[in-house]
Amino acid sequence: MNAAHDMMPHRIAIICCSVLRREIEHFAQSYEHIVHIETLEYGLHSEPDKLRTVLQETIERVEETIDADAIVLGYGLCSRGTEGIASKRMKLVLTRAHDCITLLLGSKERYAQYSADHPGTYWYSPGWNAEHLAPGKERYEKYYQNYLDQYGEDNAKYLMEMEQQWLTSYQRATYVDLGIGQTDDDVAYTRECADWLGWQFDQQHGDPALIKALLEGDWDEDRFLVLQPGQTMRLSSDDRVMEIDPKSQDK
């Protein structure tokens, strides 16, 4: 038995983004040591300070109410919204990942390689499609109607030009799944979005190894960062993605 398994806590609480809820709940059923799963709303990564605040409040509430040894997060850096969070009495475990796509693909190396080979990729997944309105015709029409109702036709057209501007940095819609929550409609929807936007379409089959290791407590240093109570994390300048903030190292 390796060191990672020797340090495996008896009881784990999970806090995750709703985008990963389906996958995490599916695999968590296999582990008796998982005593609590809490899901936070999608989209908090768009406001990193809000994500940090909500996560910190949730961590503190879980520590007060749940009998566990560690809290694992179904989050990565997520626009650096997880920087600075800390626990008071439990270990806090993060995956060395920029966002949830790494958890679906199975490794930060696979994510980095795909991004290098296919710059300008916008990712779709079962949770992503379900939780928000992804770029495509449906999103465009809904936003346009909202602007039209509020500001009139001329202003609506202008606002939509601004709204669509950020999409110019993307050329590909890639759908990734672990076979959980995935439907033919999901794949077809992603392909339709790609066609409407003039993007290429791709589908990648994910790898559950990273999520399983996170839930099992198999937290090797290459894939995970384990924070002791009081310690915080920050973005690293290398391929580790994140590191313990030296200011909190001795806590």
Hey, what are 168's tokens? 């110019």
113 and 195 both lie in a single domain: yes
Mean of the per-residue pLDDT values for the chain?
Answer: 92
Q: Which 8-state DSSP code applies to residue 18?
A: G
41 and 76 both lie in a single domain: yes
pLDDT at position 145 over 90: yes
Hey, what are 38's tokens? 């809490």
pTM given for the model: 0.90
- CA 140 to each of CA 160, 170, 243: distance values in angstroms, whole numbers, following the listed order: 8, 16, 39
Owner of token pair 């509020």: 150
93 and 158 both lie in a single domain: no
Domain extent at residue 74: 3-103+208-248
150 and 164 both lie in a single domain: yes
DSSP 76-133: --TTTTTTT---SSSEEEEES-SSHHHHHHT-HHHHHHHHHHS-SEEEE-HHHHHHS-
36 and 118 both lie in a single domain: no
Owner of token pair 């899901």: 39
195 and 118 both lie in a single domain: yes
- If pLDDT is split at 50, 70 and 90, which confidence band does 7 have? low
109 and 98 both lie in a single domain: no
Last residue within a domain, chosen from 188, 205, 222: 205
Dist CA 44 CA 59 (whole Å): 15
219 and 199 both lie in a single domain: no
Number of compact structural domains in the chain:
2
How high is the pLDDT of residue 236? Answer: 95
HSE-up (13 A, CA, CB side) for residue 40: 21
213 and 98 both lie in a single domain: yes
178 and 228 both lie in a single domain: no
Q: Inter-axis angle of helices 209-216 and 21-28, to 10 degrees? A: 60
| Mean pLDDT to the nearest integer, 221-227 | 97
216 and 140 both lie in a single domain: no
pLDDT in tens, 65-115: 999 999 999 999 999 999 999 999 999 999 999 999 999 999 999 999 999
221 and 175 both lie in a single domain: no
pLDDT at position 10 over 60: yes
